[in-house]
């Protein structure tokens, strides 16, 4: 019998973070190893990360930076992915969020593995694509 231990299979879901997206990757999203392609995960994180800024920007915005992106564990076909987000900084024209992604494995539902975490910055833009100030009303507590 093997005594080798696999990564801890479950973790607590984050408190004080908003669930902004749930999605299940499909076989068409795999790489050559049969795991989910990292670029697919990045696209979902960009979409999920935009949810909270969209609430405050009130108009057009664009992703200006992926400040950090960590693939902690592989994502597999059939995982139920949950994307949690919170605002970490509100600047004059930009909002930065942290996104954490948890996988509920097809074979172990009810248990969550953190697979990815990332920090992204979104900029409010005007109709000509130039940065514009973020409206200060309604921002998260401590961020106005």
Strand pairing category for 112-124 and 94-104: antiparallel
Minimum CB separation of residue 33 from ligand COA in Å reads 26
**Comparing C-alpha atoms, which of 84, 86, 66 is closest to residue 139?**
86
- Rounded Cα distance between 125 and 112, Å, is 37
Q: Which residues here bind ligand COA, judged by CB under 6 A?
A: 62-65, 91-94, 121, 123, 125, 129, 131
Q: What is the largest CA-CA distance in the chain?
A: 65
Shortest reach from residue 122's CB to ligand COA, in Å: 8
Q: Which is nearer to ligand COA, 11 or 92 (CB)?
A: 92
Residue 62 Cβ, how far from ligand COA at the closest point, in Å?
4
Cβ 59 to ligand COA, closest distance in Å?
A: 13
Instruction: Give the sign of the dihedral formed by CA 70, CA 72, CA 74, CA 75.
Output: negative
For residue 90, give the 3-state DSSP assignment: strand
Q: How far is the CB of 125 from ligand COA (least distance, A)?
A: 5
Closest-approach residue to ligand COA (CB): 91
Complex with ligand COA: residue 131 or 140, whichever CB lies closer: 131
> Given the complex with ligand COA, which of 25 and 49 has the nearer CB atom?
49
Residue 116 to residue 103: CA distance in whole angstroms = 9
Q: Which is nearer to ligand COA, 56 or 112 (CB)?
A: 56
Nearer to ligand COA, 110 or 129 (CB): 129
The backbone torsions φ and ψ at residue 91, rounded to the nearest 5 degrees and listed phi first, read -100, -160
């Amino acid at each position: 019998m093997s005594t080798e231990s696999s990564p801890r299979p479950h973790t607590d879901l984050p408190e004080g973070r908003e669930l902004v997206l749930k999605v299940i990757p499909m076989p068409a999203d795999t790489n050559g190893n049969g795991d989910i392609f990292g670029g697919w995960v990045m696209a979902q994180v960009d979409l999920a990360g935009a949810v909270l800024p969209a609430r405050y920007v009130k108009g057009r915005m664009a992703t200006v930076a992926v400040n950090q992106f960590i693939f902690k564990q592989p994502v597999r076909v059939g995982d139920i992915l949950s994307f949690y987000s919170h605002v970490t900084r509100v600047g004059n024209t930009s909002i930065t969020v942290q996104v954490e992604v948890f996988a509920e494995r097809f074979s172990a539902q009810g248990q969550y593995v953190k697979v990815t975490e990332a920090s992204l910055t979104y900029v409010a833009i005007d109709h000509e694509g130039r940065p514009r100030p973020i409206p200060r009303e309604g921002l998260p507590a401590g961020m106005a």
